[in-house]
Structure 1
């Protein structure tokens, strides 16, 4: 009859626990895993492919989205912004139509990267456009610093090559809940400062801020803290830019359509080509 040895059973159980612990550690360490994202304190993102610059502005503020260029614009440069919603973009066709700059969604939160980013970011550059990347902010998902670092690490950097715009921070209505992500106005201002300061420390450039006047008033208390630091990219779907958020005396980029069309949303740079090049060069 075999002799029961308690010590052997304990050793076997200890070995099994060790194996399970190793497997869990590997799973949490995998960069693309949901466990890795959650381990950094980030929340799951339900549908990042549906979140692009202006996707929530149109829902909350309305406006004309015919795609027609507003009348009376002088000394402006045509641009587009795109995300995974557009898939592979026909950049040569857009260049032929007069588009000279592009912003491409790179990231959202701290777990999503645009699967078409390389085609869109490099493709626009290769046809001659000045291009930049943008980050769709989720202030209730993780800190501003964490999202700035994730953005820079996944395509949102900057180089002084004359063809790369500073990264842009997309601040707009929450696609997943409360308009202001559950943050007070002062907390939202601090979140934006955290992102902006971290991005500046990583790249040497102040990020462009994309936001609407209405959202900015509601969620930052119409803070004037950024107007002298960050260029403004403003969405408004009408015949003029209209009222600007506090602190900004002028806009740098105007997004005048947001339809999610295959060619992306259209924008105007507020100045001539040499000023766009100056923004790229820093």
Structure 2
């Protein structure tokens, strides 16, 4: 992060390795060192779990995680162009940075960490961020291997993750996140912090797993929320018609004339269990 650490500035690394961000990979490199340090500190302490970073790119956040005391960072990078830049950081921090050249969508976290606790800290690629979050939230084993998720999303996605019933952003993602975790937005990030600057503001979201979420069959909960929010302007008796409609709703004490955005997470769980 500083010249004293013997690592070149990130812009020099990008130039030396020809790392022009690729739109196809959803890449926006984070070069503001004050900001990467601030993100890393949100996940403290970092020395009691394996820290997993997805999409490190040239390694700005990677450097910050190591500087903030991470005992071990596993960096999962799909873009082979970035590996050499990450290897320079690994050489500077012997034994503390493991680089995995792979698509994070295919990674088994438990196998990666050997079953040890994990903290995921990442500036997620925009094009796969939501899917990665869903993968982590819908883990078969619960509590999951991850202790916390400290992640960057487009602000609009972040608002959907933390949205409460009755708000415009409340939807399927809000229900799944609220069912299995406690989620909050920590702070926003200006487009100017990135290279290239995206057209939207970003937000840092932190999720902590609930130890004992209300019991529900995941596939049924996903089916109910998909049907309900797929026609969110309609009354539930109509949007849930294929799953039982009015009879299903009255069986769990929910007014058939309500709309999806008014239901609490607990009410969606009751519906899923009744399907």
Normalised by the length of structure 2, the TM-score is: 0.31
Q: Which has the larger radius of gyration?
A: 1
Structure 1 or 2: larger strand share? 2
Kindly indicate whether structure 1 or structure 2 has the higher relative contact order, using CA contacts under 8 Å at least 6 residues apart: 1
